[in-house]
Chain A
């Protein structure tokens, strides 16, 4: 079997964060090679290395046995590497044939377009991917899976021998999935190598020949998949191989995070009952957080955790269900109302929502407490400065001073500024959304200590995190979200494997995992 692509000991760092730590990976002709890993395990970085978007710091890339010294996106294209993203990148106002033509054709003399040839190429390519799509239809009128097929047709037309598919089924219905599987199998039969990324284990067992699992930027193993030809994705119940895979993904080491969990939560601070929001795909969420308690929220990206936080902070209205705060029913219509109720939200996207990068950190830290520290709307620079200086020393923010511009700080310190802004409001409920994402190790453990201290002081904390060891190590209780609702609760310090299985929708081991089969 010939080797299409070979990566050897590839490393890639972004500042202090090492995204890939010596990953080796190979793809053979005519195979589907699945790439699996938790959020942040390094899958995206690896894909970007393969498509030439990122240059590796170290390591070798060979395509069809030839060493490629520097792989750029253009070079990748010439070598027949194509990537099908979750969201197809087509021109919505052009027709299918035009979209395919723009990607593939060289223009004739004087930039003339050969319409007849263009249409014929499009028809032929669409037939090859088994799509019944009118080449003259505008792309805007196509469904998402049809657009994906057009993307695949483009890849084929460009002579791609290596096709990367990044969660191609994330927005597809079951029948659409089946159709796509058919196309993938057809490509495989033609000798194309496919790198297939998905969180859905059943797809991997239905399609893949081999699986490589990434964890923390390292490849923890490549395994052959049994029953690769088995075409029964509805198989319920885990097989031994599924268990093995989950084991590989979460690793064996027990999550060790310094601060020990506190034990006794106090009175209920937040109580959410049957909360739903159809526009964001949330339904039937019931959750309680006690004073002094850290409730961790695990789940995959897109499971609805940030959306829940948005509702609780008044950024999006819920359309059903009740929220109670300290025993009183509340409606939260805007972030302002949330702040007034004592709810604070440290958002996931720190650079866009957490900190105003262009403004001094003192301004950022007082932004949620204008009324309190600037009564009568007049700015009081002394009061502001002293508050900022206290927060800087309390949280150990590394900055030149209160006048330092937010954007000049490192990620971890920006996160502390974002946290400081909300601690200044003296919240009763603190919602943290990925508080340590993109933060270096030192700042991460400092943030963990701060979170634990706040809980010990009686704050109710909802900790949303895709970092499973973080959730396991920090939380007194763990809620797992999947498909827009909470599917399971686990006690703090639960087995990583069990929690991961619940997040992936596999009913393994203990836990009160509710069955759910919601299409996305």
Chain B
């Protein structure tokens, strides 16, 4: 098939990322202690589900040319409210979980409303709700209260296995498949892409720009609530600081995965590779004796290096393409 150059470039980006991931596996498999054991692999998955979920829904927002800095705080707020509904509201945890998804959707809806009706920049709006939602979570718990002693059926979501695979991995895979279909196989994805490339152009084409952006933010809020549930089930406790800094981790994974921060370009599978590359790197470093003691700092540092290399790798061919296409219509100076 005759692929357009942009798609070909994208493929290349994802191929590079896959190679990085394979290299990580090979390196840590040799240098790491107990890196390749089933238990450790399950561990990697468990630890990356929440950030992975946030990245999956951050991706459409970024694809449409926006950003959502509030997802980590939404996670914290939802975790606390879930605990509150279950412990103080006396609800079954299943009911509380469904209600929590509604709360997450509402939080996303607040962002959507401010962005689409007041036409405020997403960066400003979500920077505001980033503080707002976290503040609410802290107010509800007075900063110190923590919800614990959840029932075992609930904790199973965070610690149990289904068919030998961590329970929350099933949730993650379902969301990933759904997001892939949404972005790559429906008019929603097509519209997000168009809006990301040219918001005005999309409006002139009669696309429902406001509704599409709103949907992306509501989706982000809802899945952040889902991440709050798996997070709480994993730790067995819900506190106001749940998911602190996760929004940046999610954005990093999305950008590393090849989604353009300016919108329009990107893929869900790229995002998944981005999540995996970061998660494996962090875990692997903690398994290598030489780096074990400061794995946290090193993985942050190396993630940064990876990000810059991945972006530079994408920018160099693009620069050549731009230079060639710029020659074409109106040369200003020789």
Q: Return chain B residues, CB-CB under 8 Å to A379.
A: 185-187, 190
Q: Return chain B residues, CB-CB under 8 Å to A364.
A: 205
**Interface status of A479 (Cβ within 8 A of chain B):** no
Interface segment, one of B56-64, B103-111, B191-199: B191-199
Contact in complex: A407, B205 (CB < 8 Å):
no
**Interface status of A459 (Cβ within 8 A of chain B):** no
A368 and B2 in contact (CB under 8 A), knowing A15-B328, A379-B187?
Answer: no
**Interface status of B164 (Cβ within 8 A of chain A):** no
Counted as pairs of residues, one from A and one from B, with CB atoms less than 8 Å apart, the total is 92
Contact in complex: A53, B201 (CB < 8 Å):
no
A338 and B206 in contact (CB under 8 A), knowing A53-B332, A358-B264, A359-B193?
Answer: yes
A335 and B334 in contact (CB under 8 A), knowing A374-B187, A379-B185?
Answer: no
Kindly provide the distance from the CB of A511 to the nearest chain B CB, expressed in whole angstroms.
Answer: 34
Kindly provide the distance from the CB of A315 to the nearest chain B CB, expressed in whole angstroms.
Answer: 7
Q: Return chain B residues, CB-CB under 8 Å to A378.
A: 185-187
Q: Return chain B residues, CB-CB under 8 Å to A490.
A: none
Q: Return chain B residues, CB-CB under 8 Å to A258.
A: none
**Interface status of A370 (Cβ within 8 A of chain B):** yes
Partner of B329, one of A14, A352, A358: A14
Q: Return chain A residues, CB-CB under 8 Å to B264.
A: 358
Q: Return chain A residues, CB-CB under 8 Å to B207.
A: 336, 367, 370
Q: Return chain A residues, CB-CB under 8 Å to B190.
A: 363, 367, 370, 379
Contact in complex: A356, B194 (CB < 8 Å):
yes
Contact in complex: B186, A367 (CB < 8 Å):
no
Kindly provide the distance from the CB of A83 to the nearest chain B CB, expressed in whole angstroms.
Answer: 16
Interface segment, one of B3-11, B153-161, B268-276: B3-11
Interface segment, one of A199-207, A215-223, A396-404, A441-449: A396-404
Q: Return chain B residues, CB-CB under 8 Å to A356.
A: 194, 197-198, 201-202, 205
Q: Return chain A residues, CB-CB under 8 Å to B3.
A: 403
Contact in complex: B197, A358 (CB < 8 Å):
yes
Contact in complex: A335, B204 (CB < 8 Å):
yes
Q: Return chain B residues, CB-CB under 8 Å to A395.
A: none
Kindly provide the distance from the CB of B182 to the nearest chain A CB, expressed in whole angstroms.
Answer: 9
* CB-contacts of A363-387 with B (<8 A): 363-364, 367-368, 370, 374, 377-379
Contact in complex: A405, B198 (CB < 8 Å):
no
Kindly provide the distance from the CB of B110 to the nearest chain A CB, expressed in whole angstroms.
Answer: 23
**Interface status of A360 (Cβ within 8 A of chain B):** yes
Partner of B204, one of A345, A400, A401, A405: A345
- Complex Cα distance A359/B202, Å? 11
* CB-contacts of B1-50 with A (<8 A): 2-6
Contact in complex: B194, A407 (CB < 8 Å):
no
Q: Return chain B residues, CB-CB under 8 Å to A367.
A: 190, 194, 202, 205-207
Contact in complex: B200, A405 (CB < 8 Å):
no
A335 and B188 in contact (CB under 8 A), knowing A54-B332, A356-B197, A403-B2?
Answer: no
Q: Return chain B residues, CB-CB under 8 Å to A421.
A: 205
**Interface status of B316 (Cβ within 8 A of chain A):** no
- Complex Cα distance A264/B289, Å? 88
**Interface status of A355 (Cβ within 8 A of chain B):** yes
Contact in complex: A360, B206 (CB < 8 Å):
no
Kindly provide the distance from the CB of B98 to the nearest chain A CB, expressed in whole angstroms.
Answer: 25
**Interface status of B333 (Cβ within 8 A of chain A):** yes
- Complex Cα distance A436/B154, Å? 65
Q: Which of A14, A53, A353, A357 has the most CB of B within 10 A?
A: A353
- Complex Cα distance A54/B332, Å? 6
Kindly provide the distance from the CB of A400 to the nearest chain B CB, expressed in whole angstroms.
Answer: 7
A359 and B194 in contact (CB under 8 A), knowing A53-B332, A368-B205, A401-B2?
Answer: yes
Contact in complex: B198, A352 (CB < 8 Å):
yes
Partner of B201, one of A55, A352, A411: A352
**Interface status of B325 (Cβ within 8 A of chain A):** yes
* CB-contacts of B45-88 with A (<8 A): none
Q: Which of A352, A359, A403, A411 has the most CB of B within 10 A?
A: A359
B308-331 to A contact mask, C-beta < 8 Å, 1/0:
000000000000000001001111
Closest A residue to B208 by CB, please name it.
A336
Q: Return chain B residues, CB-CB under 8 Å to A14.
A: 329-331
Q: Return chain B residues, CB-CB under 8 Å to A407.
A: 325
**Interface status of B142 (Cβ within 8 A of chain A):** no
**Interface status of A354 (Cβ within 8 A of chain B):** yes
Contact in complex: B4, A377 (CB < 8 Å):
no
> For chain B, which range describes its interface: under 10, 10 to 19, 20 to 34, or 35 or more residues?
20 to 34
- Complex Cα distance A356/B64, Å? 14
- Complex Cα distance A336/B330, Å? 34
Kindly provide the distance from the CB of B251 to the nearest chain A CB, expressed in whole angstroms.
Answer: 22
Kindly provide the distance from the CB of A75 to the nearest chain B CB, expressed in whole angstroms.
Answer: 12
**Interface status of A135 (Cβ within 8 A of chain B):** no
Contact in complex: A358, B6 (CB < 8 Å):
yes
Q: Return chain B residues, CB-CB under 8 Å to A400.
A: 2
**Interface status of B119 (Cβ within 8 A of chain A):** no
Q: Return chain A residues, CB-CB under 8 Å to B186.
A: 374, 377-379
A377 and B193 in contact (CB under 8 A), knowing A335-B204, A403-B2, A405-B5?
Answer: no
- Complex Cα distance A495/B126, Å? 59
Q: Return chain A residues, CB-CB under 8 Å to B206.
A: 335-336, 338-339, 367-368, 425
**Interface status of B203 (Cβ within 8 A of chain A):** yes
A354 and B204 in contact (CB under 8 A), knowing A55-B334, A359-B197, A379-B190?
Answer: yes
Q: Return chain A residues, CB-CB under 8 Å to B328.
A: 15
Kindly provide the distance from the CB of A464 to the nearest chain B CB, expressed in whole angstroms.
Answer: 15
A15 and B201 in contact (CB under 8 A), knowing A374-B187, A405-B6?
Answer: no
Q: Return chain B residues, CB-CB under 8 Å to A72.
A: 333
- Complex Cα distance A352/B203, Å? 11
Partner of B203, one of A54, A315, A370, A401: A315
**Interface status of A304 (Cβ within 8 A of chain B):** no
Kindly provide the distance from the CB of A506 to the nearest chain B CB, expressed in whole angstroms.
Answer: 34
* CB-contacts of B284-326 with A (<8 A): 325
- Complex Cα distance A359/B332, Å? 26
A377 and B201 in contact (CB under 8 A), knowing A336-B206, A367-B194, A400-B2?
Answer: no
Closest B residue to A73 by CB, please name it.
B333
Q: Which of A315, A347, A360, A379 has the most CB of B within 10 A?
A: A379
- Complex Cα distance A403/B6, Å? 11
- Complex Cα distance A315/B187, Å? 22
Kindly provide the distance from the CB of A17 to the nearest chain B CB, expressed in whole angstroms.
Answer: 9
Q: Which of A55, A315, A335, A354 has the most CB of B within 10 A?
A: A335
Contact in complex: A377, B200 (CB < 8 Å):
no
Kindly provide the distance from the CB of B326 to the nearest chain A CB, expressed in whole angstroms.
Answer: 11
A103-117 to B contact mask, C-beta < 8 Å, 1/0:
000000000000000
Q: Return chain B residues, CB-CB under 8 Å to A315.
A: 203-204
- Complex Cα distance A408/B328, Å? 10
What are 16 A-B residue pairs whose CB atoms fall within 8 Å in the complex? Answer: A14-B329, A335-B203, A336-B208, A347-B204, A356-B197, A358-B264, A359-B194, A364-B205, A367-B190, A367-B205, A368-B206, A370-B187, A370-B190, A379-B186, A404-B4, A411-B329
Known contacts A358-B198, A359-B194, A370-B207; can you find 15 more A-B pairs with CB under 8 A? A55-B334, A335-B204, A336-B206, A347-B204, A353-B204, A358-B265, A359-B193, A367-B190, A367-B202, A367-B206, A368-B205, A370-B191, A379-B187, A405-B5, A407-B325
